[in-house]
Chain A
């Protein structure tokens, strides 16, 4: 919490990621002046080369930990940060790059790089909380503007952020979106996915892709059976659970179970 008259210092850090989540901060357009008024944006390379040294009151950390160098760096960031928030699917679940956790990274390196010997990378991509203690997480690929604003407002006023851990279905029902899985047979990950997008895809009659990762008591196997009824193959189900949040535990359980079952039926 901010003390006295000094403005809290905010830093934004990037690890293995696409920058989309930190751009959400710039995307807060109409609120940016109010934020800059109350927060000292001390380190944010995406926005300015001018940086202020730590320690920082609040650090927003984007990206996953994929290299030994990043592992060192995140420890330094942790030491310099009072309140550390992991933002986005990469930082909270490993992101799309964590797909390599399901295979051998050596195989990819051989395939992709002309000189594999130059590549220094970790065998497993890890979310931030696997490496250092994290004070709060904002989910999403990318994170939601509203949730980021809520996090900053809550921080400034010393209250708990209102970030629900329940299903996307809750958002469909509150906004009056008719369930597309029930009314149209469209496969949807909403019943296992954490809210945060205000049920964006279902409101355009598209099934939820699971951008915000597993909700707090996700049941991926029961939903998997329903997806099979709707015509998805076991391979399809492995794939729907293996996107931006593939390595988050409930989605991992879903895809690994379906992969094993697939293996069994083939042999």
Chain B
């Protein structure tokens, strides 16, 4: 029998809800004034979009991912979260692709500045462990140091996070190698693990506890907790990719003059897909837009990419003209210089850049090649290209 707990502090850290109770959770969040964003089926993929009820969620789908390929299949077990990560990441909501920074208007010879609208309070439903790690990486980029992005900060502070522990890994996943998943460790309000007919819920914050107090639930049994762990362990054991992270920054330094970059440059399209699907990549550009009449001006921030030649424009000319030099910039920054700059690697092992690269360039394979050329391979040389 589900029972409600009046005092959130008294809630046990691990509880069980029926699958349909997820709808109560969505409703409760909406009553609290959150717009809920969750995984839905759209354009033959699983994407994160506003949802208002349980029925909106993509139920019963599995994604089959490979380098340069993504397909959905029916999930006989009719699970809610059997798919892994899709083409989009939560960065689309915390760091939107296009955002107005300010607006100015001329009025009676004066210039009036307008603040853009306050961003909505969002609740993310279905944040995977690697994605949570990616949000924490972007936090370091946008919130630490002398230059804080105020709009990122406002969105981030308001967000309610319902994490989901993966019980199935994809062919391009390697979160285990990167130490980011599939077990969810911290930084969430609630974390779900999908069982047969129920979800095991971990409470991660006061906010999460307060919300659960409104929702019918019961205490989890030890078997249920163990079963959840087993399922996530199974996902951990079935990672489609691995990456040896031993002294990656050092490997990047040694590889700087490698002929291998030219080889990747022949395959790479410089299309920038990898950076835009990546949940940690943060390149942006600022554009000033004026209208014909000169009465209005808007400063807009747009997603940009280190793969765009114009992005490398410095002191009167592009400094990274070859595609090879841009791929090198991307990989060595992510797996090398980020550590110096932000204290973490720029990769959380989500595999998106592998799946969504139109020509299937796979950073785990490129790193392996560089390791064979320069580093001591800590794993035997099993990969030849």
Q: Which residues, 192 to 234 on B, are CB-close (under 8 Å) to A? A: none
Q: How large is the interface on B (under 10, 10 to 19, 20 to 34, 35 or more residues)?
A: 35 or more
Q: Which of B98, B266, B291, B309 touches A216 (beta carbons < 8 Å)?
A: B309
> Among the listed stretches A43-51, A77-85, A124-132, A166-174, which one makes contact with chain B, having 4 or more residues with CB under 8 Å of it?
A166-174
Cβ 8 A contact of A170, one of B68, B88, B305, B360: B305
- Interface residue B302 (Cβ < 8 Å from any Cβ of A): yes
Q: Is B268 interfacial (CB 8 A cutoff)?
A: yes
Closest residue of chain A to B310 (Cβ to Cβ) is A165
- In the complex, the chain B residue whose C-beta lies closest to that of A193 is B271
| Known contacts A159-B288, A181-B358, A217-B309, A191 near B271 by CB under 8 Å | yes
A182 cross-chain contacts in B, Cβ below 8 A? 68-70, 87, 355-356, 358
Among B43, B288, B293, B303, chain A packs the most CB atoms within 10 A around the CB of B43
Cβ contacts under 8 Å, A192 to chain B: 269, 271
Residues of A within 8 A of B303 (CB): 170, 173-174
CB-based A-B contact count at 8 angstroms: 128
A153 to B292, CA, bound (A): 5
Chain B residue nearest to A202 (CB atoms) is B43
Does A152 make an interface contact (CB < 8 A)? yes
> Nearest Cβ distance between residue B299 and chain A, in whole angstroms?
12
Asked whether A179 lies within 8 Å of B356 as measured between CB atoms, the reply is: yes
Question: Cβ of A166 and Cβ of B267 under 8 Å apart?
Answer: no
B21 sits at the interface (CB 8 A): no
| Complex partner residue of B268 from A177, A178, A188, A222, CB under 8 angstroms | A222
For A174, the chain B residues whose CB sits under 8 A away are 97-98, 276, 302-303
Structural contact, A170 and B308, CB atoms closer than 8 A? yes
Are A179 and B97 in contact, with the CB atoms below 8 A? no
Q: How far is the CA of A208 from the CA of B321 in the complex (A)?
A: 25
Interface residues of B (CB under 8 A from A): 42-45, 47, 68-71, 87-88, 92, 97-98, 266-273, 276-277, 287-294, 302-303, 305, 308-310, 321-323, 355-356, 358-360
Footprint of B on A, CB under 8 Å?
Answer: 31, 34-35, 38, 149, 152-154, 156-157, 159, 162, 164-167, 169-170, 173-179, 181-185, 188, 190-192, 205, 215-219, 221-223, 225-226
List the 5 closest pairs (A to B, CB-CB), nearest first.
A191-B271, A173-B276, A178-B43, A174-B97, A191-B269
